[in-house]
Amino acid sequence: MIMEAERQQIVDYGKKMSASGLSVGTSGNISIYDPETGYMAISPSGLGYFDTEAKDIVVMDLDGNIIDGERKPSSEHGLHTIVYKNRPEARAVVHTHSPYATTLAGMHKTLKPVHYAMMGCNVDEVPLVPYVTFGTPELAEAVGEVLRAVPDTRVVLLANHGDVCYQANLPKAFGLAENIEFTARIQWQAMCAGEAVYLTHEQMETARERSKTYGQQGK
């Protein structure tokens, strides 16, 4: 089986995504990209995360051709390929309908630095992609436009839909999705209770600098 390790990692993180509440039902999807072959492994369409096995993960190229797999790929495969095409450093993409990030997206609000946990987004304000029907090439193109307009961002919110993020590997991309959801929740709660106070660009830069020496470096 080609990309066996990547397929298994997608299975494992799909279960995590479901258990953590980042995705409801069969919503959300995960992919991993291998730049050597130019292939992307992606979760299948409409299959529960706890019913998915490595063989159900679909391998595609970035032109949308299926290379290996029996299943239909996620309907949002175009959304994933547009990220890899616009961000050469991306190796994993996570797309969720996580409730608080989607609340902001449902209000056509951007995600703001109400907590330094969002520093992995690599921007102080996460841009919003205008509403486009799910699973369409037009949605993928709209995401591509925003990625090109905001070259540093690792995350976009999708109006009335959810969010998309990428990182250098799947554990990091999943962690980023969790931090986006946490920050969105704090922003929404602060907006409900009164007025959120946002960190400045300088404060976010200092946090990003500090994070480079935080934790178990090199692990």
Residues near Zn ion, by CB under 5 A: 162
Q: Which residues are catalytic?
A: 76
**Rounded Cα distance, 172 and 120, in Å:** 9
Report the nearest approach of Zn ion to the CB of residue 76 (Å): 6
Smaller CB distance to Zn ion: residue 97 or 115? Answer: 97
Buried b (16+ CB within 10 A) or exposed e, 135-169: eeeebbebbbebbeebeebbbbbbbebbbbbbbee
Q: Smaller CB distance to Zn ion: residue 34 or 145?
A: 145
Nearest-CB residue to Zn ion?
162
Cβ at position 162, least distance to Zn ion in Å: 5
Which residues have CB under 8 Å from 210's CB, separation 6+? none
Phi-psi region of 196 (alpha: psi -120 to 50; beta: other; left: phi over 0): beta
Q: Which is nearer to Zn ion, 134 or 198 (CB)?
A: 134
Region at 204 (left for phi over 0; alpha for psi -120 to 50; beta for the rest): alpha
Q: Closest separation between CB of residue 79 and Zn ion, Å?
A: 8
Comparing CB distances to Zn ion, the nearer of 104 and 119 is 104
Greatest pairwise CA separation for the chain in angstroms: 54
Closest contact distance (angstroms) between CB of 14 and Zn ion is 14
